[in-house]
Amino acid sequence: MRWDDLFEDLDARLIHARRLERDAEVADRRDDDVASVDLLSRLLATEGDLSLQLLDGSWVDGRVRAAGPGWVLLSAGSTGRRQVLVPTAAACAVRGLSTASLPPSAVVLRRSLLLALRALAAAGEGVLLRTRAGDVRGRLGRVGADHVDVVVPAGGGQSVVTVPFASLLNVTESG
């Protein structure tokens, strides 16, 4: 065997080993990139209709209008005028979610479920809260760290029903 052939073979083996290492590194980086993508980033990148299956088995369909850590706002219905706020903890499956992702801005990262509910409370509109146990219709009152008070009509007056965030499936406009 000529030495030239020997060294060419050695070079080919080193090039092949280097290519395998690079391919493995690319695959690891791709896996790391995918592993770092959260649901919020994919919701923000979704442009078409999507469907969320909630913990009670029901489905909510619509287009993403806004989202933040722990929630998504959908425009639902045939006209797209009905708004549905869904805590992402209440979703057990999503159909139609983009495979792309859009990193949330610093402002979006500050828009928590707490702030979204406080904005609805400040608006003073009538809402329907769907919970795991049933529906509560009224107006949002105080919003605590992990619960919301709903002011409901009761026998000519009003009463307050407190709903823990953990039991909340969605919030829609009442009407």
Predicted local distance difference test score (pLDDT) of residue 66: 93
Contacts of 6 (CB under 8 A, 6+ apart): none
Q: In the structure encoding, which two tokens stand for residue 145, read together? A: 């760290």
State the Cα torsion 38-149-146-102 to the nearest 10°. 10
What pTM was computed for the model?
Answer: 0.79
Tens-level pLDDT at each residue, the chain (175 residues): 577 777 777 778 878 878 878 877 776 666 556 577 899 999 999 998 999 999 999 999 999 999 999 999 999 876 667 899 999 999 999 999 999 998 989 999 999 999 999 999 999 999 999 999 999 999 999 999 999 999 999 888 999 999 999 999 999 998 6
